[in-house]
């Protein structure tokens, strides 16, 4: 059986650059993305599909925001934190966003160190990312609790359009689920780095496919995507 | 012509796609039940899809009995009729056609046709089937739930879908339907990602995209579309589920039901329609494009001629796929859209006719002066072309706003979409099964039963759906369990309805011959040999028939040409397999 260089890092044949290169790749045999492994290609396509899901959620939110007959609650008041005497509009959300964006940074570092085969540092950054992600989810739980105690329900709220609660719980819930799954997989990847599975090419539990340090990067693709989606949710839901 | 003969300086590049490390099953369970082999998964998908499809068939009989002989069958109440319509439509479109084309034929044909050993992630592929099965079971459960299945129509339009006036609206019916769809989409995504990545990243040496058989192009494009269209349905289902279960108002305006003000308010029913049809229209092509692809291959093989305009055919598939994402609102002409939007969507809709017409011309030109063998698969392929043209023409009527408005929600629409996305793809499925059954089992399906099955199905389908156009034109609305004594309905409609019902029953029973044939031929069919149709594409060149797990024995095939080298002058045979380097000798061209 041929030596498997799944990740394509071995394949460095001289290729034309620019559009000609793209055309040449797509006209070639075997594979169209010359430097993407199967796993990476699959993650990209999955993310494309997921983009459509989040887009539909956001477009649905915008539509009901227009169709509802009651006024939309003022988000800078609803999402304000009351500390001491003053109200800080959007404070919690600002922190959450900061946390999540930072986690993208630590994730990128983890990918970098993974390719250098620096296991210890990779694990540190993977765990950092997981902790930041968990913090995000925790703060989201806090925000949900706060709103629920203030009387926000999927079907009603004290300040106006009932669609506010509905879209809020649905969209942040769906995104939070993505983050939660991300944290779980970060922990699994960290464990596998720690045990050296990627050095030995140990088979994965689910895919029965040999592990590779590229998995850290694939994990990263997902994580960055989840962060990016958050930016849109933040902009369209909290700032608008 | 494209890539007809390899040039002398043609060099097949060295392998860059790694060998797939297959999981070798250790027990009976992992070989036949929890198998990771795409071919076994394909058969599981197909078997489940056909089984649930039979339920939909029986439902169509019940509906036809009611329409043909109203008042005779007391157990078919109006509520029951709505439930039959809904489940029939949904099962046929999603659980039968989508699952069979993509999960069934996709799994079987993609790896074989592109020269792969299996799908790129066999384990995920296996999960896809089991999740699909779960979706089917949840769907079936709704037949037994209290209140029965939903009767909201396969379009599930709110607000009625979740109100008490609709069967299943305030009981389990609609909930189970939505949950089942959500599960289906999750399962499909697992498989769909596999099909797409296998095509773009898992091909064998020499297999360029422009050498792939059109079957692969059709299934591939349809899968990409499904991955982008199903999200809209997913979101619509989630939102409606929340409306029903949590009392949110995504789709629900303020309503008074039976004199009572409901707690809903401020939602947008039109939003649902947009989401549904953003999925729903591409869905039409998700079942049509695989059919287009398969039919191209059947015609070329059985007419012993290269497909006419291969490149055009590929681009037509891709362009149809892309355009079908910007036509969805032609299903909403009567929803109170702004006329400008109607104009826009009518225009885009009619533009799709161009690539579609190109395909039809190319099929006809492929047949032109071909050496046509009227085998059973060929009969079905020819029947498809006729039927598809037929349905396409009525589509032009319905695509125009002014014509559609009076025809909307009549039996004319029902006749139209049955022609174009009911009968036409089903004919291809039959043709494809007759064509590939020998590869799957090593035996031919019985020819005489096949011909009988073909003629009854083909003639019968026209007996059913042709008169339905007329019934619709005189104004009979769709989804009506009975017409009563409405004055505008001429007596001829009642006679025709009885006629259609009898035809539908006959066609339905003819399918039993087909099922019998499938089981009978497993044992008693003629030995097929590896390549009974003398076809060029890779699946017919496997070292063993039926192909084992891993497909290719020690070495994967190397591809030297496109899939359509039939009747090439001077060639030793009237077909040249894709992995045959003729006129060169093998080793020279194999060098890296
Ligand atoms: C033996 C063949 C078939 C017969 C006799 C048949 C008959 C019918 C009938 C009587 C209706 C209800 C019309 C009404 O009252 O509005 C219907 C609806 C429908 N059928 Fe079929 N059908 C057949 C095959 C198919 C196939 C293969 C498909 C796959 C696309 C299909 C898709 C649908 C859909 C989507 C609806 C609309 C359901 C709705 O209005 O919610 N049918 N069919
Ligand atoms: Cu359409």
- Reduce the DSSP state of residue B31 to 3 states and report it: helix
Are residues A23 and A113 located together in one domain of the fold? no
A2 — pLDDT class (breaks 50, 70, 90):
very low
What long-range pairs does A108-117 form, CB within 8 A, spacing at least 24?
A108/A220, A108/A224, A110/A216, A110/A220, A111/A216, A111/A217, A111/A220, A114/A193, A114/A198, A114/A213, A114/A216, A114/A217, A115/A213, A115/A216, A115/A217, A117/A199, A117/A213
Are residues A14 and A107 located together in one domain of the fold? no
pLDDT for the residue numbered A4: 39
Task: Please tell me if the CB atom of residue B88 comes closer than 6 angstroms to any atom of ligand 1.
Answer: yes
Are residues A4 and A78 located together in one domain of the fold? no
Are residues A85 and A164 located together in one domain of the fold? yes
Are residues A9 and A47 located together in one domain of the fold? no
Are residues A78 and A31 located together in one domain of the fold? no
Structural domain harbouring A12: 1-35
Are residues A19 and A80 located together in one domain of the fold? no
Choosing among B11, B12, B13, B18, which should be mutated to test the A contact, i.e. which has the most A CBs within 10 A?
B18
CATH 3.30.390.30 at B32-251, yes or no = no
Assess whether pLDDT exceeds 60 at residue B30.
yes
pLDDT for the residue numbered A14: 58
pTM for the full predicted model: 0.94
- Percent of chain B residues topping a pLDDT of 90: 86
**Mean pLDDT computed over B211-230:** 97
CATH number, domain with residue A221: 1.20.120.80
Span B429-457, pLDDT tens digits = 999 999 999 999 999 999 999 999 999 99
A162 contacts in chain B (CB < 8 Å): 248-249, 265-266
pLDDT for the residue numbered B584: 78
Span B43-66, pLDDT tens digits = 999 999 999 999 999 999 999 999
Looking at the CA of residue B63, tell me the nearest atom of ligand 1: 10
Structure tokens at B270: 């039109």
B207 contacts chain A (CB < 8 A): yes
**Mean pLDDT computed over B174-198:** 97
> Who wins on pLDDT, B570 or B155?
B155
Task: Please tell me if the CB atom of residue B91 comes closer than 6 angstroms to any atom of ligand 1.
Answer: no
Query: Which residue of B lies nearest to A167 if distances are taken between CA atoms?
Result: B250
Are A69 and B121 inside 8 Å of each other by CB? no
Are residues A110 and A213 located together in one domain of the fold? yes
Assess whether pLDDT exceeds 70 at residue B8.
no
Task: Please tell me if the CB atom of residue B420 comes closer than 6 angstroms to any atom of ligand 1.
Answer: no
Are B21 and A161 inside 8 Å of each other by CB? no
pLDDT for the residue numbered B14: 84
Looking at the CA of residue B92, tell me the nearest atom of ligand 1: 29
Assess whether pLDDT exceeds 60 at residue A78.
yes
Ligand that lies nearest to the alpha carbon of residue B411, given by its number in the listed order: 1
Are B194 and A42 inside 8 Å of each other by CB? yes
Ligand that lies nearest to the alpha carbon of residue B229, given by its number in the listed order: 2
pLDDT for the residue numbered B212: 96
CB of B121 within 8 A of CB of B195?
A: no
pLDDT for the residue numbered B7: 53
- Helix spans in A79-162 (H): 91-115, 119-149
CB of B431 within 8 A of CB of B299?
A: no
A5 vs B18, B21, B242: nearest CB: B18
Structure tokens at B266: 């401020």
Pairing of the two strands B256-257 and A86-88: unpaired
pLDDT for the residue numbered B1: 45
B484 — pLDDT class (breaks 50, 70, 90):
confident
pLDDT for the residue numbered B21: 78
Query: Residue B256: enclosing H or E segment and its boundaries?
Result: strand B256-257
**Mean pLDDT computed over A122-148:** 96
A1 — pLDDT class (breaks 50, 70, 90):
very low
**Mean pLDDT computed over B128-139:** 98
Task: Please tell me if the CB atom of residue B305 comes closer than 6 angstroms to any atom of ligand 1.
Answer: no
Question: Nearest to residue B379, comparing CAs of B427, B440, B439?
Answer: B427
CB of A136 within 8 A of CB of A96?
A: yes
pLDDT for the residue numbered A32: 92
B587 — pLDDT class (breaks 50, 70, 90):
low
- Quick one: CA dihedral B154, B156, B160, B164, positive or negative? positive
State how far the Cα of B163 lies from the Cα of B244, in Å rounded to an integer. 9
Are residues A191 and A214 located together in one domain of the fold? yes
Are residues A129 and A220 located together in one domain of the fold? yes
pLDDT for the residue numbered A211: 85
Backbone torsions φ then ψ of B149, nearest 5 degrees: -70, 170
Are residues A169 and A144 located together in one domain of the fold? yes
Are B193 and A45 inside 8 Å of each other by CB? yes
State the complex-level ipTM.
Answer: 0.93
Are A29 and B250 inside 8 Å of each other by CB? no
- Structural domain count of chain A: 2
CA angle, residues B143, B464, B519, in degrees to nearest 5? 60
Output the DSSP codes for A174-193.
HHHHHHHHHHHHHHHHHHHH
pLDDT for the residue numbered B378: 97
CB of A134 within 8 A of CB of A183?
A: yes
pLDDT for the residue numbered B586: 58
pLDDT for the residue numbered A82: 83
pLDDT for the residue numbered A13: 53
Atom 3, ligand 1: which residue's CA is nearest?
B60
pLDDT for the residue numbered A87: 83
Query: Residue B4: enclosing H or E segment and its boundaries?
Result: none
pLDDT for the residue numbered B472: 95
B589 — pLDDT class (breaks 50, 70, 90):
very low
Span B395-430, pLDDT tens digits = 999 999 899 999 999 999 999 999 999 999 999 999
Are residues A70 and A180 located together in one domain of the fold? yes
pLDDT for the residue numbered B308: 95
Span A94-103, pLDDT tens digits = 999 999 999 9
> Who wins on pLDDT, B353 or B20?
B353
A15 contacts chain B (CB < 8 A): no
Are B200 and A41 inside 8 Å of each other by CB? yes
Assess whether pLDDT exceeds 90 at residue B487.
no
Question: Nearest to residue A228, comparing CAs of A47, A56, A90?
Answer: A47
**For chain B, which residues make up each domain, given as ranges?**
32-251, 529-592
Label residue A150 exposed, middle or buried (CB < 10 Å: 0-12, 13-18, 19+). Answer: exposed
Cα distances (Å, whole numbers) of residue B582 to B333, B433, B552, B571, B574: 56, 30, 21, 8, 13
A10 — pLDDT class (breaks 50, 70, 90):
very low
The rounded mean pLDDT for chain B is 93
pLDDT for the residue numbered A84: 80
Span B564-576, pLDDT tens digits = 999 999 899 999 9
The rounded mean pLDDT for chain A is 90
């Amino acid at each position: 059986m041929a030596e498997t260089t799944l990740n394509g890092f071995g394949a460095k044949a001289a290729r034309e650059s620019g559009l000609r290169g793209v055309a040449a790749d797509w006209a070639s045999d075997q594979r169209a993305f010359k430097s993407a492994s199967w796993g990476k290609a699959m993650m990209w396509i999955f993310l494309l599909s997921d983009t459509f899901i989040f887009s539909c959620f956001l477009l649905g939110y915008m539509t009901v925001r227009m169709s509802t007959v009651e006024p939309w609650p003022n988000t800078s008041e609803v999402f304000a934190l009351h500390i001491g005497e003053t109200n800080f509009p959007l404070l919690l959300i600002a922190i959450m966003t900061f946390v999540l964006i930072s986690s993208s940074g630590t994730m990128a570092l983890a990918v970098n160190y993974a390719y250098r085969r620096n296991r210890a540092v990779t694990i540190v950054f993977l765990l950092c990312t997981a902790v930041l992600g968990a913090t995000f989810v925790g703060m989201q739980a806090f925000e949900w609790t706060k709103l629920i105690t203030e009387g926000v329900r999927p079907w009603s709220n004290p300040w106006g359009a009932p669609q506010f609660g509905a879209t809020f719980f649905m969209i942040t819930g769906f995104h939070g689920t993505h983050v939660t799954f991300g944290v779980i997989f970060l922990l699994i990847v960290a464990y596998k780095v720690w045990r050296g599975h990627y050095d030995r090419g140990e088979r994965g539990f689910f895919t029965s496919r040999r592990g590779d340090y590229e998995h850290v990067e694939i994990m990263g693709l997902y994580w960055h995507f989840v962060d990016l989606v958050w930016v849109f949710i933040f902009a369209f839901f909290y700032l608008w | 012509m494209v890539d007809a003969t390899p040039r002398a300086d043609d060099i097949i590049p060295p392998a860059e796609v790694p060998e797939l490390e297959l999981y070798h099953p250790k027990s009976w369970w992992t070989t036949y039940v929890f198998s990771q082999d795409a071919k076994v998964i394909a058969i599981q998908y197909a078997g489940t899809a056909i089984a649930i499809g039979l339920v939909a068939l029986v439902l169509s009989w019940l509906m036809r009995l009611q329409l043909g002989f109203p008042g005779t069958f007391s157990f078919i109440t109006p509520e029951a009729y709505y439930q039959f319509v809904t489940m029939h439509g949904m099962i046929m479109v999603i659980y039968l056609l989508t699952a069979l084309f993509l999960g069934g034929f996709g799994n079987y044909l993609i790896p074989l046709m592109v020269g792969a050993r299996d799908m790129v992630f066999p384990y995920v592929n296996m999960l896809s089937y089991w999740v699909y099965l779960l979706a089917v079971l949840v769907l079936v459960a709704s037949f037994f739930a209290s209140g029965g299945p939903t009767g909201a129509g396969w379009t599930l339009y709110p607000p009625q879908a979740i109100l008490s006036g609709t069967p299943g609206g305030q009981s389990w019916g609609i909930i189970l339907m939505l949950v089942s769809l959500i599960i289906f989409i999750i399962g499909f995504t697992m498989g769909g990602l596999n099909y797409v990545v296998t095509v773009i990243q898992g091909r064998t040496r020499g297999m360029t995209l422009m050498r792939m058989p059109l079957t692969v192009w059709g299934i591939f494009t349809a899968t990409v579309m499904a991955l982008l269209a199903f999200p809209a349905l997913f979101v619509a289902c989630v939102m409606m589920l929340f409306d029903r279960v949590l009392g949110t108002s995504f789709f629900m305006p303020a309503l008074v039901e039976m004199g009572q003000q409901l707690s809903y308010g401020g939602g947008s029913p039109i939003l649902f329609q947009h989401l549904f049809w953003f999925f729903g229209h591409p869905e039409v092509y998700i079942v049509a494009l695989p059919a287009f692809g398969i039919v191209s291959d059947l015609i070329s093989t059985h007419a012993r001629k290269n497909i006419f305009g291969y490149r055009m055919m590929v681009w037509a598939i891709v362009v149809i796929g892309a355009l079908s994402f910007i036509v969805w609102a032609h299903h909403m002409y009567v929803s109170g859209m702004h006329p400008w939007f109607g104009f826009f969507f009518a225009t885009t809709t009619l533009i799709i006719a161009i690539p579609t017409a190109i395909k039809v011309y190319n099929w006809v030109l492929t047949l032109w002066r071909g050496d046509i063998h009227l085998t059973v698969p060929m009969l079905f392929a020819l029947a498809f072309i006729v039927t598809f043209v037929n349905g396409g023409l009525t589509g032009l009527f319905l695509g125009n706003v002014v014509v559609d408005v009076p025809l909307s929600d009549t039996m004319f629409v029902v006749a139209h979409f049955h022609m174009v996305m009911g009968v036409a793809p089903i004919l291809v499925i039959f043709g494809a099964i007759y064509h590939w059954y020998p590869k799957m089992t090593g035996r031919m399906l019985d020819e005489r039963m096949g011909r009988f099955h073909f003629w009854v199905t083909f003639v019968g389908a026209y007996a059913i759906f042709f008169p339905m156009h007329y019934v619709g034109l005189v104004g009979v609305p769709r989804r009506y369990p009975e017409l009563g004594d409405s004055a505008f309905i001429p007596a001829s409609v009642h006679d025709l309805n009885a006629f259609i019902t009898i035809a539908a029953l006959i066609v339905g029973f003819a399918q039993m011959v087909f099922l019998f044939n499938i089981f009978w031929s497993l044992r008693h069919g003629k030995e097929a040999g590896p390549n009974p149709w003398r076809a060029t594409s890779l699946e017919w060149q496997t070292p063993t028939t039926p192909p084992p797990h891993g497909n290719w024995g020690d070495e994967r095939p190397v591809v030297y040409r496109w899939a359509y080298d039939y009747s090439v002058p001077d060639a030793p045979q009237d077909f040249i397999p894709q992995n045959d380097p003729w006129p060169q000798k093998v080793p020279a061209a194999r060098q890296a």
